Structure formats: C-alpha cells, structure tokens
Structure 1
Amino acid sequence: MLTDQRFNEIRCVIESQLCKVALNSKEFLTFDECVQYTALSPNFLRQQVRDGLSCYKLGGRRTFFKRKEVDAWVLKNRVELGDEHE
C-alpha cells in the first residue's frame, strides 16, 4: 500500500518528467523555461544574453528563446576534454 508521502514523491517525479517532455515540444521558451531546459543559473543565462545569445523581447520585458537556437548555442560551445580530464 502506498503511503501519502510515497504517493507525493511519485507524483512529483511524474510531473517533472511531463515538464521535460513539454519543454522539448515547445518552439519558444520563456526565460524561466530556458533556465530549466538548460540547467543554467538565471544569472549565467542573463550574462549569455548580454554576450549575444539570441533571444526575443516582447513589450521590452518578457524574454523568449527559440529552443532550436538554444540547442545550437549549446552545441556551438562544446569543449573537447583531453586525456588529463578522464
């Protein structure tokens, strides 16, 4: 029999996985969704926007990111690790 605590833990895991699936199907991400999608800190993401990461502003305040552009940015910043990092 499931305890309430165990049931809530399972529900949280399912909700988390559903959020990930939803983010992968969206064309545009809000700032908070982009933070969640990339697992970057909000401050680091803001700095990347200042440094040229493509984003879209609506009304001068709300920031959106095209998911495919974020994916391309992540892949562009790939770093090859040498033998000393293994």
Structure 2
Amino acid sequence: MRIFGAILMAIGILIAGVSGLCSLFIIGAGIFDGSGQMGDAFGMVAIFGLVPFAIGALMIFVGYKITKSDDRSMPPPPVQRPDATARPARPLDADEQP
C-alpha cells in the first residue's frame, strides 16, 4: 500500500505543479498584457486551473495519508527489558581489584 500512496503523491504533485505553473503563466500574461482584461484572466484560471490543482492537491493529501497509515499497521519493535534476576553492580571498595 505504501508504494501506491507514493505513486498517488507523485502523480498529484505533477498535476498540481503543471496546473499551478499554467495558472501562473495565464495570470502573468493577463497582468502584463496591458489590455485591462484581468477579470478574464482570473476567470479562466478559476475555471480551468483551480479544478485540476484541487484534484492534484487532493491526490497528494490522500497519498500522504495512505503512506502514513501503512506505518501504523506495522507492529512496534520489541522492547528490550532488563533481566530481572541480574543483580545491580556495586561499586568496588578501595582494596578490591577489578
């Protein structure tokens, strides 16, 4: 499942990235066009750019959740417990040798 989540995230990043760059280009062209038609540029971005960007962002979110939920299904590593029968070491006296 982890690989599916990673693939879903990669595709979502590509979709959201391309859509975002295209939207940025359209808004930039509308700003620097000089025709004063900024409403048209924002309308086109809202219609044609926002939907694929939202789908890509949703794919990234779902893929992330899939990869992280896979971590919780794995059992935790075993805990190393100290031996209950072992005696704690006592400090040596000055006349004892190690």
TM-score by length of 2: 0.28
Bigger radius of gyration, 1 or 2? 2
Question: Comparing both structures, which one devotes a greater share of its residues to strand?
Answer: 1
More helix by share: 2
**Greater RCO, 1 or 2 (C-alpha within 8 Å, sep 6+):** 2
TM norm structure 1: 0.31
